[in-house]
Amino acid sequence: MQIKVSDNIILVGTAHISQDSVDEVRETIERYKPDIVAVELCKRRYESITKKDKWENTPITSLLKSNNSYLMLAQTFLSSVQRKLGKDQGVEPGSEMIAAMDEAKNHNLEVALVDRDISITLKRAWKKMGIREKFRLTWEFLKAILGYDEEELEDLDLKELMDQDVISAMMEELGEIAPSVTTVLIHERDIYIAKKILDESKKGKVVAIVGAGHLKGIKKHLEKKKLDVDLKELEYVPQKRFSILKTIGYAIPVIFAALIVYAFLTKGFDLAAEMFIYWFLINGICSAIGTAIARGHPLSIATAFVAAPITSLNPAIAAGWVAGYVEAKLRMPVIKDFQNLGKLDSLRDFWNNRVIRLLMVVALANVGSMIGTFVALPYILSLGFGG
């Protein structure tokens, strides 16, 4: 679907798994002979498409250390839908973007990346969500990575996707799950992309390849001719708001320290030491059991045992992160393992998938540590104030 906004701006709306879209992109660039080809990609998504082998084999620990877990979540969510839809059509997801960039290269045209970094979009959305919305999103995400209903996918019509590309569909679905973030997920991106396209058009004629779901919104903003938009404001990630869970996390070490000091001052070193030992054992054992249930490596289990009593007193670190880091180092997953999540056919496949195992180690080590904390704290409290 093409829209000529002005003499300098032509929009092409595409579906991300359609051969028709690929053909239309090539034909439009040939016909209009632009100076610039703008694509609805950010740098991260651009590299995931153009440097696929490097992306697929990037160690997950590298992504975690560089704080890119939002990108990892987004790529996983999208690939579970796009892979299954594209398989029947014989079209790789993102082929229309690749076609646009190939045509630009063949004609020595400039390529402009006009989308906001997907990790920033998801971070801004996450900050706006309430606890209920976060829990619901997590549940929906878990269902997504384990595979969509095949009958549901068979009912989808690619022609209908021309009115709503897959990424826009994902954003709208997130908006339904968490209504408070609709502005961030949809409207902000329309404004951001429109502003970037308008800025590029000052340098020459632009053919912009965008998801069909964005056409209406982008066109509306471009027709204003002048967009009074500060892109830096749209790229800003707000600081965390007050959190009850975070407050409890900081309160636990204060309560624990107060109990130990009270026991030492009123009943002596022996009771203080006993309370500390019980805290260490209860926390460590519960977290280690959780890691063992997840079939973590023996060293990961040992790490959870040692880390949990310490991390329970430090709200900035979680036992699962430490145990998960060790698990990832010992059984290194790569992004390709994420892409295999939709191909799990049996319980054995589920348990043997390195990503599933890593996620379970992180989750169950944290759950074990949490249980240990809420068991140990009342127990040592009873020791301090009991008969």
Per-10-residue mean pLDDT for the chain, 387 residues long? 86 78 89 93 79 63 50 52 53 76 92 89 80 73 52 47 53 70 82 93 93 86 82 82 67 87 87 91 95 92 95 86 90 73 58 78 88 90 74
For residue 70, count CB atoms less than 10 angstroms from its CB and return exposed for 0-12, middle for 13-18, buried for 19 or more: buried
Q: E-assigned strands of the chain?
A: 2-6, 9-14, 36-39, 110-113, 206-211
Question: Whose CA is closest to 60, among 331, 342, 251?
Answer: 331
pLDDT in the model for residue 67? 45
**Hunting for tokens 């994902």 — which residue is that?**
170
Q: What angle, rounded to 10 degrees, do the helices at 244-267 and 354-385 form?
A: 40
E strand or H helix that includes residue 82 = helix 69-89
